[in-house]
Amino acid sequence: MEIREYIDNKQFKKAYNEFIKLHPHDQSEVLNELDFIDQVRLLNYLKDSELSEVLSYLDPEDGAKLITELDISRQKNIFDQMEIDDAVDILDELDSEDQSAILDVLDEKAEYQKLLNYEDDEAGALMTFEFVEIKSQIDVKDAMKMLIAKAPDVESISTLFLVNENKKYLGTVKLNELIKAKSPLIVDTLLIQAPSVKDKDDIDLVIHQMREYGLYEIAVCNDEDILIGIITLDDAIEAYEEEAIEDFAKLAAINDTEEKSIIKTALHRLPWLVILLLATIPIALASSMFEEVILSVSILSLFQPLILDASGDVATQTLAVTLRKLNQSDGATFTDGKKEILTGVINGLILGLTSAIITYFLAVILKMDEPIMVSLVVGIALLLSVIIGPILGFLIPVVLNKFKIDPAVASGPFITTLVDILSLIIFFGLATLLLGVA
């Protein structure tokens, strides 16, 4: 019988016996399928050590809801057994009153408070204090003794972090190298000059450094290069994934992608949709300005969707590339912008020439006046529109980034709306100019 069936039959003890056999990740998946009341009933059977494991795998918001159902003594025991970075994620989701109540009973209140003071996208928010710190000038034999003494209380022992007498970070030593070393030998001779990050650095830089150097842990230092913590790869990847999801939501002009209530989701997205609706008014106004052109040369209306779609598509492509570049340590450069614009020119020439040829033959078949001029209008308009798209798709996020504004807010719908307006003016402006229609 499955856990779900035991719970439906109110056989919570049997459900617990099956539940506890699962890996904590799978336990969290089971909990996510239960309603809140059944979650609480099942978790009441768990020991504090078991509960601390499964809470680490739950979404922090869900973990916060569950932890508040327990008395303060159980809350303390559970947090004491969790890795501090996981515990802080849950604490950060609590209201100020519940958060203060728990912090007051925790033995390491100062460390928790320090982590809570960082912004979510800063390296300091992800760090843990549970690591092995070794002074660089001690003998390898003494270093091994320190490692053995600290091992039960730290998150990882595969990498040791070396500091000088003033606690300034120097580099790392691999566990296997320390094991192979024989006294008398100073730990400093095993030093690897591994990079570090500052506690205020963005999570993007953390991921970049760990990827470039193949690190599973990276040192976190303050502005004086004092070692204050480390970040593990699993925590960095999790945070980076959350930020990527958030940026994707902004790119699609979706305000919130995690709300479980249909009504709340609709209400969260409605303001963006209203803004985008209002942003399309200039397109309607621009179209009305060229009503005479559309009526006089009806074939132009056939190519209007092509020009608007093509320019919007290339703008969105460039925006996605630019956002990815901005998230990397070297950022988006002039060379990147030039590459995107030249790509737009090449694509514009190909699309413009192709559309001009197709337009010419259509105009001849439909026995329209001045088929060459009509084809030139479509071809040149498509060329210019496909060039404008990458320019705006690159410049807008770069400028926003320079002013310390999140470039992801330059979302696809906003850029495509702006490009649509300009493309429409170019298209019908050329028609007015070349075809002599007013």
> The CATH number of the domain where 323 resides is what?
1.10.357.20
Mark which of 64, 85, 117 sits at the end of a domain: 117
Mean pLDDT over 256-279 rounds to 68
Same domain, 324 and 196: no
The pLDDT of residue 413 is above 80: no
* HEC secondary structure over 409-433: HCCHHHHHHHHHHHHHHHHHHHHHH
Question: Based on the domain organization, do 288 and 407 belong to the same domain?
Answer: yes
Mean pLDDT of the region 134-162: 89
CATH classification at residue 163: 3.10.580.10
Are 342 and 410 members of one domain?
yes
> For residue 153, what pLDDT is reported?
81
Tell whether 179 and 152 lie within a shared domain.
Answer: yes
Domains in the chain, number: 3
Distance CA 97, CA 93 (A): 12
Q: Which residue has the higher pLDDT, 412 or 79?
A: 79
**What's the whole-number mean pLDDT along residues 412-431?**
85
Same structural domain, 285 and 428: yes
* Statement to judge: residues 298 and 153 lie in one domain: no
Q: Are β-strands 133-135 and 159-163 bridged in parallel, bridged antiparallel, or unpaired?
A: parallel
Same domain for 301 and 227?
Answer: no
**Contacts of 135 by beta carbon, 8 Å cutoff, 6+ apart:** 162, 163, 164, 165, 187
- What number is the average pLDDT over the span 360-369? 87
Is 254 among the domain residues? no
Residues 314 and 171 reside in one and the same domain: no
Instruction: State which residues form the domain around 109.
Output: 3-117
Q: Please tell me whether residues 276 and 396 are part of one structural domain.
A: yes
**For residue 173, pLDDT beyond 90:** yes
Of 175-179, 231-235, 298-302, 419-423, where does mean pLDDT reach its minimum? 298-302
Instruction: For the chain, give the percent of residues with pLDDT over 90.
Output: 29
Residue with tokens 């070692």: 227
Sheet of strand 217-221, all strands in order from the earlier edge strand to the far edge: 196-198, 217-221, 227-232
Q: Are residues 228 and 309 in the same domain?
A: no
- Which residues make Cβ contacts (< 8 Å) with residue 312, sequence separation at least 6? 389, 415, 416, 419, 420
- The answer to whether 247 touches 319, Cβ cutoff 8 Å, is no
> Model confidence at 347, in pLDDT bands (50, 70, 90)?
very high
Instruction: Determine, yes or no, domain membership for 349.
Output: yes
* Residue 211 clears pLDDT 60, i.e. is over it: yes
pTM confidence score: 0.66
What pLDDT score was predicted for residue 220? 95
